[in-house]
């Protein structure tokens, strides 16, 4: 795969250093997209849950613990994104 990329890069006149830098850049963009999109997804999900949770807590203070728990459940999505980003960058 890497050999094919090098052959293709040589064809368009790139050096090996440039290819390595380009690969690193692509990984960084992928990691950014993974964290960014999952962050947006979590935000959208938490908007609904969070506002409902605040509403429920405003009426019944005992709901606080449960409401907080439900609100942070979508955080798992962004953690998946973060894991993917770390795998891309460091593995």
Partner 1 sequence: MVGVRGISAPYIYVCTRMRVRKAKLIPKEEYQRMLNMGLPEITRIIGETEYKQEIDELGTTFKGIDLIEVALSWNLAKEYQKIQEITPGNLKQFTQAYLRRWDIQNVLTIFRGRMQGSATGKIKEILVPAGSLDTKALDRLLAEDNPERIIEALKGHHMYPVLVREYPYAKESGSFSRMENELFKQFYAEIITGAESGIKGGNLFLDFIRLDIDVKNLKTLFRLRADACEEDAREMYIPGGALSATNFSNLILIRNQGEFIDMLKGLYRQKALLALLDEIREEKTFRDAEIRLTRVQLEQMERMSKRHPISIHPILVYLEKKKYEVFNLRALARGKESKLPSEKIVNYLVM
What the block records as the tokens of 56 is 């429920």
**Residue 32 contacts partner 1 per CB under 8 A:** no
- What's the rounded Cα separation, in Å, for the pair 43 and 89? 24
Options 5-13, 14-22, 52-60, 68-76: segment touching partner 1 (CB under 8 A): 52-60
Q: How far is the CB of 69 from partner 1 (least distance, A)?
A: 16
Taking the C-alpha atoms of residue 27 and residue 10, their distance in angstroms, rounded to an integer, is 21
**Would you count residue 48 as binding partner 1 (CB under 8 A)?**
yes
Interface residue with partner 1, options 28, 51, 69, 89 (CB under 8 A):
51
| CA–CA dist 54, 66 (Å, integer) | 11
């Amino acid at each position: 795969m890497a050999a094919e990329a090098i052959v293709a890069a040589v064809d368009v006149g790139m050096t090996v250093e440039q290819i390595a830098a380009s690969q690193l850049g692509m990984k960084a963009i992928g990691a950014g997209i993974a964290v960014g999109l999952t962050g947006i997804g979590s935000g959208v999900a938490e908007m609904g849950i969070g506002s409902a949770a605040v509403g429920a807590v405003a009426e019944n203070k005992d709901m606080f613990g449960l409401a907080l728990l439900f609100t942070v459940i979508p955080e798992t999505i962004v953690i998946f994104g973060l894991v993917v980003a770390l795998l891309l960058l460091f593995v």
